[in-house]
Amino acid sequence: MHKADAKARSIRDGDPVKVYKGRGDFEGLVRVIVATLGYWRSLNRSDGSVNCISSDEFASLGHAPTFSDNLVQVRRVN
């Protein structure tokens, strides 16, 4: 997470956070995060993975995956 975004949300390195959007959510600790490519939806939404916020749809051009970019919100959890 970028330092400016973290500061605006009163989040510090190592804090527990919830990453979410309308499609799903997951919890983790704030660090520099790399999400691996691929789509693995959890069957139990309450213990989703980083990929639960991605679409499993394919693009109309070339039947390519559409999970590369995600706009999400992040909030600190207690």
φ, ψ dihedrals at 5, nearest 5°: -65, -40
Q: What is the pLDDT of residues 24-34, one digit of tens each?
A: 899 999 886 55
Q: CA–CA separation, 10 vs 48, rounded Å?
A: 24
**pTM for this entry:** 0.57
pLDDT score recorded for residue 5 = 86
pLDDT surpassing 70 at residue 4: yes
Q: What is the CATH number of domain 3-76?
A: 2.40.40.20
Residue 16 sits at φ, ψ, to 5 deg, of: -75, 135
Complete DSSP assignment for 11-22: --TT-EEEEEET
Question: Binning pLDDT at 50, 70 and 90, where does residue 35 land?
Answer: low
Domain range summary for the chain, segments of one domain joined by +: 3-76
